[in-house]
Structure 1
Amino acid sequence: TTINKKSGNAILIKLNQIGTLAETLNVVKMAYENDWQAVVSHRSGETMDDFIADLSVAINAWGIKAGAPAKPERLAKYNRILEIHGKN
């Protein structure tokens, strides 16, 4: 695997591609156990749902990839992170 070959240092989490939330958490755990970082990503055709912001904070992700805050569905994710951290 890429982890065994040490050919990377981070994973990009796309919830619509990985399967279930439990599978997502297992992959993140495996990454962290191998000193990798996680970045939670939006998906194409994104909605106003801001769950990926909650997930990125819950797993202590290195970052979130939600695109430029020019569209409301993207801005919703960034605003949710600010809300979680009490800055909104």
Structure 2
Amino acid sequence: MPEASLRIIAKVKARSDSVDELRKLLRALVEPTRNEEGCINYELLQSQSDPTEFIFLEEWESVVALDRHSSSDHMKNLRSKLPLLIDSPPEARRFSIVV
């Protein structure tokens, strides 16, 4: 039986003085991530009520594909720059489709 796709909701909250810089950094992840093997969908959203809040909606073919993404060069680059731009640690949750 094939492995079901994996959905991720990841939240990143910018410091109020670094919203534009963080948006630019996060946007730079989208194309290389969408081109990764195993990426089904990868969207970046920004809250309308709180512009410091960004959400990634992700869908991956498998845990293996997600793990490869997590160790990619563009994710390593993000992790090196993120601490100076965020208000709190990023949150990521894994979901499976129920219906």
Fold conserved between structures, TM > 0.5: no
TM-score, length-scaled by structure 1:
0.31
**Higher fraction of strand:** 2
TM-score, length-scaled by structure 2:
0.28
**Higher fraction of helix:** 1
Relative contact order, higher structure (CA 8 A, sep 6+): 2
